[in-house]
Structure 1
Amino acid sequence: MQHTRSPRLPDAEGLPVRRAVPALRAALTGHGAAVLAAPPGTGKTTLVPLALAGLALGGPPADGKVLVLEPRRLAARAAARRMAWLLGERVGGRVGVAVRGEARPGSRVDVVTTGVLLQRLQSDPEIADVGTVILDECHERHLDADTALAFLLDVRATLRPALRLVAASATADTGPWARLLGGASGPAPVVETEAALHPVATVWAPPPRPVPPPHGTRVDPAFLAHVAGTVRRALDERDGDVLCFLPGVGEIARVAGLLDGVPAEVLRIHGQAPPAIQDAVLAPAAGRRVVLATSVAESSLTVPGVRVVVDAGLAREPRTDHARGLGSLTTVRASRATAGQRAGRAGREAPGTVYRCWDEAGHDRLPARPRPEIELADLTSFALQAACWGDPAASGLALPDPPPAAALDAARATLGALGAVHGGRVTARGRALARVGVHPRLARALIDGAREVGPRDAAQIVALLSEPPPRASGDDLTATWRALRRPGRPEGPHAARWHEETRRLRTALEAVSGREPGGGPARKAGDDLVAGAVVALAFPERVARARPGGGYLMASGTGAVLADGSALAGARPEWLAIAAADRPAGNASARVRQAVVIDEDVARSAAAALLEAGEEVVWRDGDVVARHVERLGAIELGARPLRDPGPGLVRAALLEGVRAEGLGLLTWTPGAVALRRRLAFLHGALGAPWPAVDDAALLERLPERLGGARRRADLARVDVAALLRGLLPWEAAARLDELAPERVRVPSGARIRVDYAGERPVLAARVQELFGWDEAPRLAGGRVPLVVHLLSPAGRPAAVTSDLASFWGEGYRAVRAELRGRYPRHAWPEDPRRGDPRRG
């Protein structure tokens, strides 16, 4: 078939990237790989693939197809449509597209999402019909894109040395990509294209008053009102269309409502926007427009007519709570690199202006660049891809950044629970889960759910989990499902995606299980139980039971609460299967976003792997409690008293109680307290063999003394003094009274108790009892002097000394002068060293 030159190509060939194409071709011919650094708007996404395919700029035809990888479906469709339009064709001719649920292959160029390529590489790693792969927007650091590059480098090293790879980036940070593509032979060539951007003026437009920062996914309405006001200001002050960047669909909807009545058409562009809206945004328009966009418009898409950018300065990043199995998005400040890319959109076609909704000082405090997704995301899908590739630990993959060890361990544990890996290697079930093309949890729910509720219902529910409905649909997933199935219901963009994904999942199910799309058991249960069974199969640890005091407890052990205004709150069901939840920062409990009402039978069936029954002997409410308990993870299903628990379990529970409530549960006689203090003194003064007698040391030896103890009352009968003496080796026990005597004989003949409670041992005696005593004894073999507290006849402290001889010579005079007038009937000799000691 002969193709005529399109009249649209000459205009496209005027794009700045055309000057880099010869160098790019030369780099691929000589090295087989190159990095293309081309700012947004230079033509790297549309002109370069056509040029390498021999369809533009007069180049030779490519050896094999040119495959263009895009991180988003919207960008892939837009790029394919743009290239086909330049050739004067429709998508499916020389230029094709393949995204999840849609495949129209081209004869020379295919634009595909990275997820689609990963699926293909697992089944056809050689990709023999492909000659060149361009990884577009690699700087955005999407996890699938990083993984696809690592796999392609493996393919090039082992199967296809002639495969040519291009990493196309909109930033100048090309070093890491050049090193990855070059490998051991040194960095790959870097081909740079100068930006053809027109100057962009910056207007700093912070809110007039401070507003609270984003919290989770919540953005303060006052800030969104300020963003809308800035858009109105931009329309008044500047010409051309306005492109406004916001973090998510909810914020886009709110700002759109605040722009009612502006003298421009308001359009919304995001990953869930229907194709008709995408086409309208990407086509020139007669009148002025305000385009409200998420990050999809930062680099992959060119919106014609834009002269002004209003940047809210916010972005969404994934967060994963690996300990609780919860994932969510959070709103963060955009990086300086992101802000630069957004601003560049205003200078694509003419001089422009960017209104930044923050101040210049705050700009310098922004992070330099966004964090790569591999550091933040749930890695379960990545771990399954790596296992299917033959590298379960991902240790041999040439990734820009290694996966965090804790996140990868959590992902591999999930895969083990799903039966996807065993002994570190992928199983046949794991390969089947990977071929479905959704998160492994959802793939498990589809395959196992088809046997439980039938292929149609399983596919519909998994499609609803895979393509979540707008938040305005509420948290009752069953109600949303019923609404989507209602005959005659107008089909909005979400419904269209849901129907499309349902069809794709039923086809995938047939391919991996051999099950006919219409086969399966007849419907025997209501919608809630059917939907709940599938949701619980996907997220068994999120099966939840109502708590007596309010809220729910998930099988994972995490608490959960229904959001304000919940459609489920009125009935307050006992059991839920939670499809989506997040945990706001600082909250102990998760917040339910979507759930289905189920019963205990569904919970037991879907989360059967978490069922366990056994003896439970624990310390609870101040005593030993022995029960036979059945649990679903952390949820207690039932219990009955255990009449004869094993002595080992009882002993462990008693020790648990002592650790929790302290050694005060034992009976500490005065003799036991004194003995412990004497031993602690010797351990501190002499060390071994004198044992430690702190709480930890005593708890370690306590089991030897518990004997037949079975409850709290038995602890009070433990002989603590015997326990302490049992810690002493025989040679130490024989010297205890010598080195740390319990009492010391003083000159009056009295045997006075030594107090070992403080840092040093203390002897407290009346002054008259110590007359004639030149020096108090030293303890611990002479190492520690005894501190003497000299008391008045009334028993009140008169002086303290550890050097009695010095006290008699100097301090005694002052004490004598003060006290003999008050106590004239007591002896106060001038020389106490020759005085007659007296008792009483």
Structure 2
Amino acid sequence: MRSEWSGLPVRHVLPQLLSALDEHGVAVLTAPPGTGKTTLVPLALAGLLDGSPARKVIVAEPRRMAVRAAARRMAWLLESRVGAEAGFSIRGERRAGPDTIVEVVTTGVLLQRLQRDPELGGVDAVLLDECHERHLDADTALAFLLDVRATLRPDLRLLATSATADAVPWARLLGAGASPAPIIHASGTLHPVTEIWAPPSRPTAPPHGLRVDPAFLSHVADVVRRALAEREGDVLCFLPGVGEIGRVAGMLGGLDLSAGPDHPGGPGDASGPGVPHGADVPGGIQVLQVHGQAPAHVQDAVLAPGRTRRVILSTSVAESSLTVPGVRVVVDSGLAREPRTDHARGLGSLTTVRASRASAEQRAGRAGREAPGVVYRCWSRAEHDRLPEHSRPEIALADLTGFALQAACWGDPAAAGLALLDPPPPAAMAAARRTLHALGALRPRAAADAPDVSAGPPDTPDAVVTDRGRRMATAGVHPRLARALLDIGPRAAEVVALLSEQLPRDADDDLVAVWRSARRGRDGFSARWRQEAERLARAVPREGGESSGPRSGAGGSRNSGPAGTRNSGPAGAWSDDHLAGMVVALAYPERVARRRGGAYLMASGTAAELPAGSRLGAAEWLAVAVADRPAGSATARIAQAVVIDEEIAEVAAAPLRGSGDEIAWRVPPGQRQGDVSARRVERLGAIELSSAPLRDAGVRPAVLDGLRSEGLSVLRWPPEAAAMRERLAFCHRALGEPWRPVDDASLVEAADLWLEPELSRVRRRSDLERIDVAAALLRLVPWSARLEEVAPERIEVPSGSRIRVDYSGERPVLAAKLQELFGWDEAPSVAGVPLVVHLLSPAGRPAAVTGDLASFWREGYRAVRAELRGRYPKHPWPEDPLSATATRRTNPRR
């Protein structure tokens, strides 16, 4: 055993920690980074420091990079090799043997092991490291372990460790309802870290989705150069993703970002665009790029002392768990990536967010692990005060399909009995269960004795996992991808491996082209892809040899439908295009898409668009592998897809197929007016496959919908109909109930009343236009009233003429030639409202308006007579109009 362990600060609390675990079986350890909690504590738990009897210990880390680093560090302390006393296991790689006492694993591997062997036979203690990061797998693993302690292994010792001091919630959780678990605090050698606020001199655009303003990245590169000039030691720069790491590396190295010596670059590549993982920039400074998919040799180089000064560009993987020697300076962009899930549309993506204050403190602490350091923060102090205190836990943000399957395999599909700091959001869990039902992984509890198939997608948590669901859970990929792997067989492994990796940012939107490029590639991404494809091919249970395509019954799920396509038969005989299309469509049946105009409609009902100039744009059908929906947009963006035909779409999305009668008021695309549509429609989700007209269907609800959506304009309104409506409106204003209002909303609401029986005869829009609206409106007249008595259409004047009354204004108007009203000293009232009289000249033009006819004859007539008598000499203009005889004629000729 090397003597260096005695210099690790955590050694001072080891007796207290071991005593707490002996007494309570659970404990929480808080210790700053660099104190030895990840490497020395497991050795103490295993009895490797004091020669006590060996105890098997599992250490769970959230990241593969931390797993390798912890195992290497412990093997170094033990003066041994990795795989002897200390080993590790990650997905697709295991370096541990019969003599391994301390095994470091990812939380995902621990979950798989718990599902296979809940008792963890032979294991004495489990240490869950970096709990404060709140990864979903870590939260789930701790919940399972607490369940194991409560029911199967009360002797199993559990230790949760955190680099933050906020340990009370964890202590309560581990206390399992009794007294909280003991909290052990280890203080480290905390070197001071000086804060330097370095915001951009000019405003930059905030991050949006995966896009980070290039001007801001240029500013980060400038801050790195400033740090190199002002300070000594290695520089650790935090950036949100691999794409940003590559861009900043290119800016630092003065390299051409459009070409790379090894590979095209991007988020899924081993490095950024055109920049190797390790590159020397002018001045003898080495630039290293660190992320979860970085090659092992780069990870080794980061964790070993450098021979030259280094700039280490890293995602959040370097926030904790790892001690990066030589770092004295941190440059923090203040950005991070979080998952976002659109549960209604089945779309998930990553988005760029501002890091929390807790994360910023973690990052800054990296500069003070070995000596006093400095942190350059690329934002202002005022912005810092507005940051969220903590990052949101992954369980609140992520797609929970995998979590729901793990919970179902554990025997708790609703996750109601799991000890979690934060419960899963109900809507996200309901969406996850619907997906698992569709994949055949769950079935209703009432069907527990039925064949192993899904009986439907109810939103109830009362379900049980199927045998197929258990096989999906062991595949080590998302349940959707596991479904395709099980249905098709080992040959699907290459496509599934492609879909389980984050693809390069500049990857072609044709997934088949990406697949063929990976086959030819010699870069880090291609190497990782080959390794994962081989692992998946080995993981597929072979039932009598190669799968023959989508299966049903025990070997698959009826949800996958029959294998009745042109390429049906052994999957080994399928073309690349057919195989890739089938894998994607089986994994994401709701993303099967059909062309609609210049875009596509997915079976989920979401519209989606290809990038401009895409080679896939001529396809009628697509299986969409990767898509996201920008915030505020109703249309999804397709990142990768495969051209398929209708047969593949129908096979893969068979559960979404249905037929039914659709009777509705529809507005055809590109038109403004709708019409009744009565059809028998075959659909694949929201995609229409075929339709046939329905005869003698009841279309009345559709007609009423048309009235509600387009209003009364669907009817024909000749002048007599408009006049009738005005009379009824006047009656409602003047008399109120029982006269009904006849505004648009009221007429539409009462359509059943006044448009019967015409509505029962309507089959299309043209039938509505033939309705006699004036006659129909008469049905609104109260049964106890007569419209002609209350609001007569015409009124007889002294000349004997019957003049139409205009009811369009607030008061009814009678417009008549002045000579026809001689002798009429008072106009009648209508419904108690006096008429307004418009007196017209012989030519029918307005001469005067009055509401008091007698007053007009006394005071206004003389002026009108003087003005018009000379213009119309043939018409009578008596001096006394009240005694004159009203007439429609001119003066007789002399």
Which category describes the TM-score, using the shorter chain as reference length?
0.7 to 0.9
Deviations 1:244-268 (A, max 9, x none): 1111111111111112124311111
1:734 aligns with 2:784: yes
Where 1:472 maps in the other structure, the secondary structure is coil
Q: Give how far 1:755 is off.
A: 6.5
* Residue equivalent to 1:782: none
1:244 aligns with 2:237: yes
- Partner residue of 1:557 out of 605, 623, 629: 605
* Residue equivalent to 2:382: 361
- Partner residue of 1:661 out of 705, 710, 713: 710
**Matches of 1:371 and 1:661, distance apart in 2:** 46
1:706 aligns with 2:727: no
Deviations 1:370-394 (A, max 9, x none): 1222222111112222222232223
Contact 2:807 2:813 in 1 (8 A): no
**Matches of 1:337 and 1:739, distance apart in 2:** 82
Q: Give how far 1:282 is off.
A: 0.8
**Equivalent residue letter for 2:503:** P
Deviates more, 1:605-614 or 1:767-776: 767-776
Deviates more, 1:178-187 or 1:763-772: 763-772
Deviations 1:510-545 (A, max 9, x none): 2xx645579982633321112111111111222233
Deviations 1:462-507 (A, max 9, x none): 1111124323342332223223334xx63x3223322222232223
* Residue equivalent to 1:578: 624
- Partner residue of 1:635 out of 663, 675, 687: 687
The verdict on how the C-alpha distance between 1:744 and 1:43 changes in structure 2, with shifts beyond 3 A counting, is farther
Q: How does 1:586-597 map to 2 (within 5 A)?
A: 586-597=632-643
1:392 aligns with 2:413: yes
Q: How does 1:393-432 map to 2 (within 5 A)?
A: 393-423=414-444, 424-425=462-463, 426-432=465-471
1:436 aligns with 2:475: yes
Deviations 1:78-101 (A, max 9, x none): 222222222222232232322211
**Equivalent residue letter for 1:416:** H
**Equivalent residue letter for 1:207:** P
**Equivalent residue letter for 1:428:** D
Q: Give how far 1:162 is off.
A: 3.3
**Equivalent residue letter for 2:150:** A
Contact 1:506 1:517 in 2 (8 A): no
* Residue equivalent to 2:456: none
**Matches of 1:774 and 1:259, distance apart in 2:** 95
- Partner residue of 2:506 out of 472, 483, 489: 472
Contact 2:811 2:836 in 1 (8 A): no
1:40 aligns with 2:33: yes
**Matches of 2:823 and 2:168, distance apart in 1:** 86
1:164 aligns with 2:143: no
Contact 1:76 1:112 in 2 (8 A): yes
**Matches of 1:127 and 1:50, distance apart in 2:** 19
Q: How does 1:442-591 map to 2 (within 5 A)?
A: 442-450=481-489, 455=490, 457-486=491-520, 490=522, 492-510=523-541, 514=543, 516=545, 521=570, 523-547=572-596, 549-564=597-612, 566=614, 568-569=615-616, 572-591=618-637
Q: How does 1:90-489 map to 2 (within 5 A)?
A: 90-105=81-96, 107-260=100-253, 261-263=281-283, 264-423=285-444, 424-425=462-463, 426-450=465-489, 455=490, 457-486=491-520
**Equivalent residue letter for 1:733:** W
Deviations 1:775-833 (A, max 9, x none): 96776xxxxxx4865656668698899xx9xx999x9999899979768998999xx9x
Q: Give how far 1:412 is off.
A: 1.7
The verdict on how the C-alpha distance between 1:817 and 1:133 changes in structure 2, with shifts beyond 3 A counting, is farther
How many residue pairs are counted as aligned between the two chains?
A: 797
Q: Give how far 1:133 is off.
A: 2.6
Contact 1:792 1:819 in 2 (8 A): no
Show structure 1 runs of 5+ residues with no match. 780-785
Where 1:657 maps in the other structure, the secondary structure is helix
Contact 2:805 2:815 in 1 (8 A): no
The verdict on how the C-alpha distance between 1:756 and 1:10 changes in structure 2, with shifts beyond 3 A counting, is farther
Contact 1:51 1:59 in 2 (8 A): no
Q: Give how far 1:442 is off.
A: 0.3
**Equivalent residue letter for 2:304:** A
**Matches of 1:756 and 1:67, distance apart in 2:** 90
**Matches of 2:830 and 2:548, distance apart in 1:** 96
**Matches of 1:84 and 1:836, distance apart in 2:** 127
- Note the aligned Cα RMSD (angstroms): 3.8
**Matches of 1:166 and 1:796, distance apart in 2:** 98
Show structure 2 runs of 5+ residues with no match. 254-280, 445-461, 550-569, 669-673, 870-875, 889-894
Q: Give how far 1:771 is off.
A: 8.0
The verdict on how the C-alpha distance between 1:155 and 1:623 changes in structure 2, with shifts beyond 3 A counting, is same
Q: Give how far 1:763 is off.
A: 5.4
The verdict on how the C-alpha distance between 1:460 and 1:746 changes in structure 2, with shifts beyond 3 A counting, is same
The verdict on how the C-alpha distance between 1:178 and 1:696 changes in structure 2, with shifts beyond 3 A counting, is farther
**Matches of 2:149 and 2:790, distance apart in 1:** 79
**Equivalent residue letter for 1:662:** G
Identity of aligned residues (%): 58
Q: Give how far 1:448 is off.
A: 0.8
The verdict on how the C-alpha distance between 1:757 and 1:698 changes in structure 2, with shifts beyond 3 A counting, is farther
**Equivalent residue letter for 1:9:** W
Contact 2:331 2:377 in 1 (8 A): yes
State the TM-score, normalized to the length of structure 1. Answer: 0.85
Deviations 1:118-166 (A, max 9, x none): 2222232222433333222222222222222222232233333333333
Contact 1:37 1:169 in 2 (8 A): yes
**Matches of 1:162 and 1:742, distance apart in 2:** 97
* Residue equivalent to 2:273: none
**Matches of 2:510 and 2:14, distance apart in 1:** 53
**Matches of 1:156 and 1:626, distance apart in 2:** 62
Where 2:695 maps in the other structure, the secondary structure is coil
Deviations 1:198-219 (A, max 9, x none): 1111222222322222221121
Deviations 1:702-739 (A, max 9, x none): 586322322221112234455555567xxx42136499
1:19 aligns with 2:71: no
Q: Give how far 1:399 is off.
A: 2.2
**Matches of 1:797 and 1:185, distance apart in 2:** 97
Contact 2:200 2:378 in 1 (8 A): yes
**Equivalent residue letter for 2:3:** P
- Partner residue of 2:645 out of 599, 613, 630: 599
1:646 aligns with 2:696: yes
1:611 aligns with 2:657: yes
* Residue equivalent to 1:77: 68
**Matches of 2:635 and 2:72, distance apart in 1:** 46
1:9 aligns with 2:5: yes
Contact 1:156 1:162 in 2 (8 A): yes
Contact 1:789 1:798 in 2 (8 A): no
**Equivalent residue letter for 2:168:** G
Deviates more, 1:264-273 or 1:472-481: 472-481
State the TM-score, normalized to the length of structure 2. Answer: 0.80
